[in-house]
Chain A
């Protein structure tokens, strides 16, 4: 079965500090894409960062970066210089190359402490 596990239901970080959200996934496929989505209280799901499994280099988007460990099937998200606007639910997700559906984890609620 294809699954995504986020073991941290909630996390808190001080404003301007760095936080890492964990994610593991299970698939027997070799070609797939990994994602982190942010869902603020407005409910709109926003793509934060994407990683292609065939790329060894970790993706970065400004203050957001990932640590992709393919052999360990681990895909963590690091947020640097945390800002109040980063407070949201964060979902780890993936899609295998030959499929259309995206499989999501249960999410991690991130609180930013001023």
Chain B
């Protein structure tokens, strides 16, 4: 079992560009959550997807959007990138309302 996988590992973009990050959940999990971890901070909840719908959203602007596919994999899209979007983006999978959240290794996004 590969656990939660994320791609790419690292990404460099410039201000104003758009980016798509990808996540494959652990086998058997049906829920995907995304977190943003700025340098020196704890992760902050962006949103959660279940049954291909956004189930809950944190305090992030509409520039952050997502999608979940029928195979439970997920994408995080960020439009009009700002310098402040530079962070480690963590994907985590679980069963719905489960506490056994499994995190992926993250995607390090740098916005120049």
Which B residues touch A42, using CB under 8 A? 105
Pairs across A and B, CB under 8 Å, 28 listed: A35-B99, A43-B88, A43-B105, A43-B106, A43-B108, A44-B103, A44-B104, A44-B105, A44-B106, A45-B43, A45-B103, A47-B101, A91-B42, A93-B42, A95-B99, A100-B55, A100-B56, A101-B56, A101-B58, A102-B33, A102-B101, A103-B45, A104-B43, A104-B44, A106-B40, A106-B42, A107-B40, A107-B41
Which B residues touch A91, using CB under 8 A? 42-43
Q: CB of B90 within 8 A of chain A?
A: yes
Kindly provide the distance from the CB of A55 to the nearest chain B CB, expressed in whole angstroms: 13
Q: In the docked arrangement, what's the CA distance between A100 and B95, Å?
A: 11
Listed in ascending order, the chain B residues whose CB lies under 8 Å from chain A are 33, 40-45, 48, 55-56, 58, 88, 90, 92, 97, 99-101, 103-106, 108
Kindly provide the distance from the CB of A32 to the nearest chain B CB, expressed in whole angstroms: 11
Q: CB of A33 within 8 A of chain B?
A: yes
Q: In the docked arrangement, what's the CA distance between A46 and B104, Å?
A: 9
Q: CB of A78 within 8 A of chain B?
A: no
The residue among B55, B101, B108 with the most chain A CB atoms within 10 A of its own CB is: B101
Digitize A78-114: 1 where CB-to-B-CB distance is under 8 Å, 0 elsewhere.
Answer: 0000000000000101010001111111110000000
B41 in contact with A106 (CB, 8 Å): yes
